[in-house]
Amino acid sequence: MNTSSHGARSSLLWTCLTALAPATWGTTYIVTTHLLPAGHPLFAAFMRTLPAGIIAVGLSRQLPRGSWWWKSFVLGGLNMAAFFPLLFLSAQRLPGGVAATLGA
């Protein structure tokens, strides 16, 4: 295998990995409109963030210490308690095409 084909293969791999993030993010609207109960953005946000939080605590195997307690509450509040419910609320109310245009 020469270095030219290795470089092309590596470039293709990075391109596919880069395309994976927006494709995964786009499933939010499909899941929200077809699989989750309508009118419950807090439930949807809870179900999306709880598994990630449990995995994060399980992998770190330690709780925050000192000033990291309040930092964790602020970050968790902004990200989990504000962003995700608003995301699911907008996903329930916006048509998929409008959401895709805004996301682009």
In a domain, 58, yes or no: yes
Total number of domains in the chain = 1
pLDDT digits (tens, 9 = 90+) for 63-80: 888 998 899 888 888 877
11 found inside a domain: no
| pLDDT, tens digit, 9 for 90 and up, residues 9-65 | 888 888 888 888 777 777 777 777 778 777 888 888 888 888 888 888 889 888 888
Q: Is the residue at 98 inside a domain?
A: yes
Report pTM: 0.60
The DSSP result for 57-69, as a single string, is HHHH-S---TTHH
Q: The domain containing residue 85 runs over which residues? A: 25-103
User: For residue 53, what are the CA distances in angstroms to 46, 47, 70, 82, 97?
Assistant: 10, 10, 16, 16, 31
How far apart (Å, rounded) are the C-alpha atoms in residues 79 and 56?
Answer: 15
Residue 40 falls within a domain, yes or no? yes
Which residue is listed with tokens 């109960």?
A: 37
Contact yes or no for 84/25 (Cβ under 8 A): no
Sign of CA dihedral 77, 79, 84, 86: positive
Please report whether residue 95 resides in a domain.
Answer: yes
